[in-house]
Chain A
Amino acid sequence: MRIWKTVPGWMMVGLMSFALACGGGGGEKGGDAAEPAGGEAAGSADFVTVDPAKAATVTGKIKLNGEAPAMPAINMSAEPDCKGLHQSAPPAEVVVASNGMLQNAFVWVKSGLNGKFQPSTTAVHLDQKGCIYQPHVLAVQVGQPLSITNSDPTTHNVHPLPTTNREWNKSQTGGGAPIDYQFPRQEIMIPVKCNIHPWMRSYVSVVDHPFFAVSSADGSFTIKGLPAGTYTIEAVHEKLGSQETSVTVGDAESKDIELTFSAS
Chain B
Amino acid sequence: MSRSVTLSRKTLNSLSPQASAEYPASRGLHRFAVFTAASTFCLIVAGALVTSRDAGLSVPDWPLSYGQLMPEMVGGVFYEHGHRMIASFVGFLSIILAVWLWRREKRRWVRNLGWAALGAVIAQGVLGGMTVLLLLPTPVSVAHACLAQLFFSTTAILALVTSRSWNRLDAQSQPRAPETSGPSLPALCVMANCAIFAQLLMGAAFRHKGIGIIPHLIGAMVVVAIVFWLLARVARRYSGVPEIFSWTMALNGLVMMQLVLGAGAYWIREATRDAVQPLWPMVAITVGHVALGALILAVSVVLTFQVRHVFGRRHESFEPQGVPVTT
Residues of A at the B interface (CB closer than 8 Å) are: 1-5, 7-9, 11-12, 14-16, 18-19, 21-23, 25-27, 29-30, 72, 74-75, 78-79, 81-82, 92, 94, 154-155, 157, 159, 167-171, 194-199, 201, 239
Contacts and interface: CB of A to CB of B under 8 A. Distances in A.
Interface stretch (B114-122, B216-224, B256-264): B114-122
**Complex A-B, nearest 10 residue pairs according to Cβ-Cβ distance, in ascending order:** A22-B143, A12-B116, A26-B140, A195-B58, A196-B75, A26-B137, A8-B113, A19-B123, A92-B276, A198-B277
Looking at chain B's contact residues, the main secondary structure is helix
Q: Which of B119, B134, B138 has the most CB of A within 10 A?
A: B134
B316 interface: yes
A5 B130 CA distance: 33
8 contacts: A3-B324, A12-B119, A15-B116, A15-B151, A19-B127, A169-B60, A194-B58, A196-B76
Contacts of A1: 312, 315-316, 319, 324-326
Contacts, number: 145
B130 A81 contact: no
Contacts of B319: 1
A30 B53 CA distance: 23
Contacts of B278: 198
A26 B139 contact: yes
A14 B146 CA distance: 12
A18 B57 contact: no
A159 B57 contact: yes
A239 B123 CA distance: 40
B276 A74 contact: yes
> Which residue, of B154, B277, B326, has the highest number of chain A Cβ atoms within 10 A?
B277
B116 A26 contact: no
B35 to A, nearest CB: 20
A26 B315 contact: no
B207 to A, nearest CB: 15
Q: Interface centre among B115, B126, B137, B316, by most A CB within 10 Å?
A: B137
Contacts of B110: 8
A194 B115 CA distance: 39
B194 to A, nearest CB: 12
A22 B57 contact: no
B77 interface: yes
Contacts of B326: 1
Interface of B: 53-61, 66, 72, 74-77, 80, 109-110, 112-113, 115-116, 119-120, 123-124, 126-127, 130, 133-135, 137-140, 142-143, 146-147, 150-151, 154, 274-278, 308, 312, 315-316, 319, 322, 324-327
Contacts of A82: 75
A108 to B, nearest CB: 25
A195 B116 contact: no
Contact of B77 (A12, A168, A196, A201): A196
Contacts of A22: 127, 139-140, 142-143
A246 B96 CA distance: 70
Given A16-B123, A155-B66, 8 more contacts: A3-B324, A11-B150, A15-B151, A22-B139, A22-B142, A196-B55, A198-B54, A198-B278
Contacts of B75: 78-79, 82, 196-198
Nearest to A239: B274
Contacts of B113: 8, 11-12
Given A155-B66, A197-B75, A18 B147 contact: yes
A12 B53 CA distance: 31
A202 B143 CA distance: 30
Contacts of A29: 134-135, 137
Contact of B324 (A2, A8, A11, A170): A2
A92 B276 CA distance: 7
Contacts of B147: 15, 18-19
B126 to A, nearest CB: 7
A1 B308 CA distance: 9
A127 B150 CA distance: 44
Nearest to A80: B74
Contact of A18 (B53, B135, B146): B146
Contacts of B126: 19, 23
Max chain A Cβ within 10 angstroms of own Cβ: one of B56, B112, B124: B112
A155 B316 contact: no
Contacts of A81: 74
Nearest to B201: A18
B130 A26 contact: yes
Contacts of B308: 4
A25 B57 contact: no
Nearest to A72: B276
Given A1-B315, A8-B116, A30 B276 contact: no
A61 to B, nearest CB: 26
B76 A74 contact: no
Contacts of A74: 276-277
A78 B278 CA distance: 12
A94 B127 CA distance: 35
Nearest to B313: A1
A205 B174 CA distance: 70
A155 B74 contact: yes
A241 B139 CA distance: 30
Given A3-B324, A18-B147, A197-B75, A26 B134 contact: yes
A96 B312 CA distance: 68
Given A30-B135, A199-B276, A155 B60 contact: no
